[in-house]
Homo-oligomer: A and B are copies of this chain.
Amino acid sequence: MFLHENVVDCVVLAFDEGVLKVLLLKWKVGSFWSLPGGYVMSQESLDDAAARILADRTGLGEAYLEQFHTFSDPTRAFVSSPKDVSTVTEMMKELDPKGDLGFIDWLTKRFLSTGYLSLVRLSETKVSPDFLIDSCHWIDVTKLPPLGGDHDRIVGTAVEHLRKAIRYSPIGLSLLPERFLMKDFQQMYEAILDTSLDRSNFQRKILKHNILIRHEKRMSGGAHRAPYLYSFDHQRYSAKARSGLLS
């Protein structure tokens, strides 16, 4: 009756150098930036499509992945101005004179995009470009380049979603290594909530939940007193899954 193209766009976030970074793709043609995304195939659920797209682009089999919103502005299109369309067409011809130009259609067509939020450990990813993508970059979410279509709005909605969710669940741990310092943990919260937290009170509040395991001290590197390493106690968390971590 009314058929639509459905795509999934993944907002893949990592915590690196004290800031939240999002995985962005730089296209060969036109130097456009976009989120990793792709079609939802005929017999595929949105969750499956998102997992496939994430795995293809980052090599991650398992990762935190959650749908957060479906975007449907009828005017949304990856490229909007006629000038950009012709630029892209020219460049495509140069890149591959015999290739079909079907994807030009893709750039200008209206479709529905379902946004997925993914939280990963940057070190565990192996990002890979492909025949359309020039390169992959981890970009500070507060310093985005101009993105195609409404992808900047998608990133914003994703971060807003994360901001709400992290107050009630420890999903942020998906951003940290298996063992981590309390300082990293706090900085991760500060980056997401865009605020500063009292070191001593943060530590007490978190530890009171009894969902972290304290290990022996790290001996290595850093000058001054050696901090403890912590890891997440999945067992105990499942038990008290309803309470929420902050306030």
Residues of A within 8 A of B (CB): 1-6, 39-47, 67, 69-70, 72-74, 106, 110, 112, 114, 247
User: A2 is contacted by which of B1, B6, B110 (Cβ under 8 Å)?
Assistant: B6
Whether the pair A4, B40 counts as a contact (CB closer than 8 A) is yes
A45 to B73, CA, bound (A): 5
A236 to B134, CA, bound (A): 51
Whether the pair B39, A2 counts as a contact (CB closer than 8 A) is yes
Closest 3 CB pairs of A and B: A3-B3, A46-B72, A70-B70
A119 to B45, CA, bound (A): 29
User: A43 is contacted by which of B42, B47, B74, B247 (Cβ under 8 Å)?
Assistant: B74
A6 and B39 in contact, given A44-B74, A69-B67, A74-B45 (Cβ under 8 angstroms): no
**Nearest CB to that of A70 among chain B residues?**
B70
A3 and B5 in contact, given A43-B74, A74-B43, A74-B45 (Cβ under 8 angstroms): yes
Could you say which residues of chain B place their CB within 8 Å of the CB of A41? 2
A67 to B14, CA, bound (A): 27
15 A-B pairs with C-beta separation under 8 A: A2-B5, A2-B6, A2-B40, A4-B4, A4-B5, A4-B6, A40-B72, A44-B74, A46-B70, A46-B72, A46-B112, A67-B69, A67-B70, A70-B70, A112-B112
Task: State the Cβ distance, A197 to closest chain B Cβ, in Å.
Answer: 18
Apart from A6-B112, A44-B74, A70-B70: 17 A-B pairs, beta carbons within 8 A: A1-B39, A2-B5, A2-B41, A2-B42, A3-B3, A3-B5, A4-B4, A4-B5, A4-B40, A43-B74, A45-B74, A46-B72, A46-B112, A47-B72, A67-B70, A72-B114, A112-B112
